[in-house]
Structure 1
Amino acid sequence: MNKRLVLGFLLLFVVYQTSEGLQTVFAPGNPLGPALMLLALLLAWPVGRWLDGSGWRAFGLHGRRWVGILGGGLLLAMLAKLAAEAIALWLGIETFAAPVALPLSAVALLLVTTFIPSLAEDILTRGFLLRLAPKPLGFWGYTLASALLYTANHLWRLDWGATEQLRLFCLGLAYGAAAWRFRSLWAAVGLHWGWNLANALLSQAWPGPVEDVAGARLVSAAVHLAIFAILAGWVRRERGEDGGQALAGNASTSP
């Protein structure tokens, strides 16, 4: 395995986990945590340059249609979050609460504060694997490997229980499948960012109490499994139509 790839991964991993540890456990509210998260994202550029001279593109952040891919994933994830909320209300997992109006400044802040960690984590848990070329791994190999890496990356949530680990794994399946399908990390970023953004917006604009935390996690897992199933069916259908060549054709700038 490429030593530069391993060293680059370890560098970003340490910075990312230090940020997460500060924000989750040791110093919530301390600006150092978010600053280190931004540093992890910025460091990905020189790491990418060190790997092959392409900066962030080294991790699959490329493609002429990246804006549409990002926007489509963002919209899909936000609709999926609304569906999950509706299911949770119907099952009695969450309780309806009166909505609260959010100022535009709060919305703008959430757009930034959910985008940066989503992108940084996607580079770490999916971009490096995408750089290894998903073709030898195949759809299932890449998706499973990225989902496991995504779950393991949440070190500071290991004591949150089995339902949280299951939820993270199912999220990882959906996001990994999107990255592999489009051969672009922007597909995963769109879904990841959209879910985090919708979750943050709803928690502030509609702060209803959660009656069953484990149940809410299982609903999130189920919604992401549905997204994964759609993407897996899409990949299988394309491979059946043209012997697998369509996927290779989507990667004109494959990492």
Structure 2
Amino acid sequence: MKNWISIIAGFIFLFFIYHFPEFFQSFWVTAVFKIGFLVAAIFLCRLQGWKLLEGYGLSLTGKWYRILLVGLLVGLASFTLSILLSIGLNYENLESLQTFGFFLKSLPLTLFMTFFPSIAEDILTRGYLYGHLKSLKPIVWILLSSALYVLNHIWRLNEDISVLSYLFLLGLVLGFCVVIKKSLWLALGIHWGANIAYELSNEGLHLNSTGDKNASTWMLSLVWGTILVILIMIHRNRTSQSIRQIVLE
């Protein structure tokens, strides 16, 4: 029987650590708490009966690194595609673009600085739920995880509906990835890759909105919605093939 008091207390503990830096405008406070979140999550995972972070879907077994890499590429490509769509449809103008060398030089630090916030939020809004609520029906779990992902952006809840839409659709994509892979690695890769692309574009691109400032965010929603449909189709196709193989055997 689950100890719901312990489960809820653990979530509140992680939630506090994740959001505490928002009360300070300090790079070092943010860095310490984001890295500290991972340490606290490992400690909590041990208390709740797992090794390291395996209970939260981050087991270092199998080909986890390949799954993470695939996710990284999907996340990078998806966010980049949304920028290209915004420019191509004239929702934004590209005023300037840094050199390839600039992006290459910025990449190592960007990889490091985006990793800890990405894995922290994935554990908080998906991994923790995976560890304790994976017995729920998949659609219920995905919707719950997606809603929690949106609500975790508490400082953005009063923004335009386009922002909430893209957050919810991204939450669906990442939640679906957890369900079909039964781990957090693919979702982490996509989330991390998207964050890398976001930071690099902020540093290396100068974009100006040509009209509706929310149009580019709607493009991001469109991309994540499309990725979700593609993932569902791939999953259904593989499931159908597995069923046919079982029948033929």
Greater C-alpha Rg: 2
**CA deviation after TM superposition for structure 1 residue 103, in Å:** 6.2
Which residue of 1 is the match for residue 36 of structure 2? 39
Alpha carbons of structure 1 residues 244 and 151: separation in structure 2 relative to 1, 3 Å: farther
Contact 2:93–2:207 under 8 Å retained in 1: yes
- Which residue of the partner structure matches residue 226 of structure 2? 226
Instruction: Give the SS at the match of 2:158.
Output: coil
Task: Please report how far the alpha carbon of residue 60 of structure 1 lies from its aligned counterpart in structure 2 after TM superposition.
Answer: 0.2
Deviation at 1:4, TM superposition (A): 2.4
TM-score by length of 1: 0.87
The answer as to whether partners of 1:175 and 1:188 remain within 8 angstroms in 2 is yes
Q: Distance in 2 between matches of 1:71 and 1:118?
A: 14
The correspondence of residues 1-255 of structure 1 with structure 2, limited to 5 A, is 1-2=2-3, 3-19=5-21, 21-22=22-23, 26-27=24-25, 29-62=26-59, 63-101=61-99, 102=102, 104-132=104-132, 134=134, 136-211=135-210, 212-242=212-242
Computed over aligned residues only, the root mean square deviation of the Cα atoms, in angstroms, reads 2.1
What are structure 1's unaligned runs of at least 5 residues? Answer: 247-255
Call closer, same or farther: CA 1:112–1:139 in 2, change over 3 Å: same
Q: 1:239, 1:245 within 8 Å by CA — same for their partners in 2? A: no
Identity within the alignment, %: 29
Is the CA contact (8 Å cut-off) linking 2:103 and 2:200 kept in structure 1?
A: no
Deviation at 1:133, TM superposition (A): 5.1
More strand, by proportion = 2
Q: Displacement of 1:220 after TM fit?
A: 0.7
- Classify 1:120/1:245 alpha carbon distance in 2 versus 1 (closer, same or farther; 3 Å): farther
Aligned to 1:252: none
Q: How far, CA to CA, are the matches of 1:245 and 1:35 in structure 2?
A: 51
How has the CA–CA distance of structure 1 residues 137 and 242 changed in structure 2, closer, same or farther, with 3 Å as cutoff?
Answer: farther
Cα gap change, 1:244 to 1:17, in 2 (>3 Å): farther
Distance 2:89 2:97 in 1: 20
Secondary structure of the equivalent of 2:40? helix
Larger deviation, residues 41-50 vs 208-217: 208-217
Structure 1 residue 117: deviation in Å? 0.3
Distance 1:118 1:203 in 2: 17
SS of aligned partner of 2:53: helix
Structure 2 SS opposite 1:233: helix
Cα displacement (A) at 1:245: 11
Higher mean C-alpha deviation, range 231-240 or range 179-188: 231-240
Compute the displacement of 1:104 (Å). Answer: 4.6
Distance 1:231 1:128, change over 3 A: same
TM-score under structure 2 length normalisation: 0.89
Deviations 1:200-253 (A, max 9, x none): 11111122223433111111111111111122223333443445999xxxxxxx
Q: 2:178, 2:158 → 1: CA distance?
A: 28
Q: What secondary structure does 1:64 align onto? A: coil
